[in-house]
Structure 1
Amino acid sequence: MSLFWRIFGLNALVLGTATALLLWAPVTVSVPVLLTEAVILVGGLAVMLVANAALLRWGLSPLDRLTRLMTTVDLLRPGQRLPVPGGGEVGELIRTFNAMLDRLERERATSSARVLLAQEAERRRIAQELHDEVGQSMTAILLVLKRAADEAAEPLRGELHQAQEITRESLDEVRRLVRRLRPGVLDDLGLVSALTSLTHDFATHTGLRVRRRFDPALPALERETELVLYRVAQESLTNVARHADAERVEVSLRHADDAVELCVTDDGRGIEAVCEGAGIRGMRERALLVGADLDIAGAAGSGTRVRLNAPVSGRRP
């Protein structure tokens, strides 16, 4: 039983007992009880109960709101706070809870930043090893196969050519993985070129039609902000390929006020058909890293829109 109903039940019991005493005690009520007296007393009891319930509901409503927020709060959606209803114990409780949320959001943002930076460093290391070790070894294998195929007779030459093609396809796949792990074009040519390359590879491998709309003059961004925008676009396109069952995708990047807005829109099944899993939560954590706002909207049958507003808070040297 909730606190409201416990308090209301106790008050109802006390008031009911008092009314019964007034009805049957000869000191205050006529004997026998007159009908008018009974009606007045019962009516008064009803009025007191209704008034008591209304006052209790009004007084305990901040606790109800606090309970709902405690069960639904998500640290990946910062800014969820309750207004403090003045002083008293309830106000102090809500102030303490808001302060706790402030502290938890700061700690979550700090820990997420450490994890994401470590993740990017590990991706760079793996990409470097794939490029230097596996890539070079497969390139050497291609050269050996080519020499062997040039000197071999049929049908061995055909088999060597087939092995050469398989090795070349595997080398292309390794290079594609390296680009996904470490977008070197982002460091060399900037965000627009990196997104252009990303969407071109996406269209090539999935067969979906991709429309790009990039502002020609974007402000200079911090490297972390560019990386967050790139990774959010990458994860959004991955979700489209895996879950959306879409035919067309639009990727836009524009300068709006003091922010850069990335928008990835598809015409697939909609966000209701896809649960918010690790990929979307990862995008929210990346958005927190640079103080960006991430909004994911959609409905069944009308596609999904992922929009990220990243503030232009700094400039690259």
Structure 2
Amino acid sequence: MSLFWRIFLLNAAVLVAATLLLLGPVTVSTPVLLTEAVVLTAGLAAMLVANAVLLRVGLAPLHRLTRAMTTIDLLQPEPRPVPAGQADIADLIRTFNAMVDRLETERATSAAAALSAQEAERRRIAQELHDEVGQTLTAVLLELKQVARQAPDPVRAQLAQVQETTRDSLDEIRRIARRLRPGVLEELGLISALKALVTEVTGHTELTVRQHLGADLPALDDEAELVVYRVAQEALTNTVRHARATTVEVWLAGRPDHVLLRIRDDGRGIGDAAEGAGIRGMRERALLIGAQLAVTPAPAGGAEVRLRVPATVREGRP
């Protein structure tokens, strides 16, 4: 029975009972006697209490639905409101759940397309940096070396400085290309890629890095390995840039049904700051492969990023 009919029938029952009583043994004098006032007041109070109880019980699912609607985050899936209450309220909750499911599906589809296009663009830019800019700078270095052989001593010293600057620029371009397209991930696998990433990101800092990278990992497909790599890359970059940490721990371990990545630092922590684009990007990537991402304060201070990736089987493997 819908909430409308429940309230209507309750009020109708009270009014019918009051009418029958007034037509029968109960009378109202003018002026009203004390006993009559007590009976009328008790009847009114009973009707108000009954209505209040019914509305409180009937509208409770709506209050829960309102809280869910104001706190829902498509990047942090939570249990859906349970369809409860009367028929129309339960239908409303089911409709809301269906709408959220549809929005999550549409968001996941669009995010997958966007991230796929982003990775393709990164590969293209990295390839152009390596093939075009890198080869051009290499040719410039060779020309400078040849010119320096024929130049007088004062000019030769200046050319040597130019060579060193050009060589540093070439190394920087190669480093950027590696960050854009982790070729080592495709060629040597996830463990080697994470080791190279840690060395690259923290190599020019005084940050102490403790690595615990398990070798016996369950199989992950290429997309899942890329998500693990990108999450680690973003977490380490945030640590170097913002955390003011002295130590960071990179931990990767395998379980029969999942792979767990944990990156913990001893920096200033996340505090009450709102999530930035980097963390939300990590959440989007995690959702695409059904992984669970948590960014929480570390037990001893600092911040901790935990990524739990369900194990998959590569195509072509048994």
What is the TM-score with the length of structure 1 in the denominator? 0.86
Structure 2: runs of 5+ lacking an equivalent: 1-6
Specify whether residues 238 and 50 from structure 1 end up closer, same or farther in structure 2 by C-alpha distance, changes over 3 A only.
Answer: farther
Matches within 5 A, 1:83-94: 83-85=82-84, 88-94=87-93
Shift of 1:216: 2.2
The residue number in structure 1 matching 2:165 is 166
Aligned amino acid, residue 113 of structure 2? R
Assess, with a 3 A threshold, how the Cα gap between structure 1 residues 34 and 268 changes in structure 2: closer, same or farther.
farther
Partner Cα separation in structure 1 for residue 312 and residue 220 of structure 2: 8
Give 1:44 shift. 4.6
Query: Residue 242 and residue 48 in structure 1: after superposition, are their counterparts in 2 closer, same or farther (change >3 A)?
Result: farther
Which residue is equivalent to 1:216? 215
Equivalences for residues 159-308 of structure 1 within 5 A: 159-298=158-297, 302-308=301-307
Q: Is the Cα contact below 8 Å between 2:293 and 2:306 reproduced in 1? A: yes
Cα distance, 1:315 vs. partner? 2.2
Structure 2 Cα separation of the partners of residues 274 and 91 of structure 1:
37
Q: Is the 8 A contact 2:217 2:255 kept in 1?
A: no
Task: Answer yes or no: is the 8 Å Cα contact 1:270–1:301 preserved in 2.
Answer: no
Residues of 2 paired with 1:290 and 1:192: CA distance? 19
Q: Percent same amino acid at aligned positions?
A: 61
Q: Which residue of 2 aligns with 1:128?
A: 127
Question: Aligned residue pairs: how many?
Answer: 301
Aligned to 1:5: none
Offset of 1:306 from its aligned partner?
0.9
Question: Which portions of structure 1, spanning 4 or more consecutive aligned residues, are displaced by more than 6 angstroms?
Answer: none
After superposition, the Cα gap between the structure-2 partners of 1:158 and 1:305, relative to the gap in structure 1 and judged at 3 Å, is same
1:33, CA displacement in angstroms? 3.4
Conserved? CA contact 1:273–1:300, under 8 Å:
no
- CA distance in 1 between counterparts of 2:299 and 2:192 reads 33
Q: CA deviation digits over 1:57-94, x for unaligned, max 9?
A: 22111111212212221111234411111651111111
Q: 1:299 to 1:190 in 2, by over 3 A?
A: closer
Question: After superposition, what is the alpha-carbon deviation per residue over 1:187-206, rounded to whole angstroms, capped at 9, x for unaligned?
Answer: 01000000001011122133
- TM-score, with normalisation over the residues of structure 2? 0.86
Gapped regions of structure 1 (runs ≥ 5) = 1-7
Amino acid at match of 1:137: T
**CA RMSD between the two structures:** 2.8
* Counterpart for residue 3 of structure 1: none
Question: AA paired with 1:148?
Answer: V
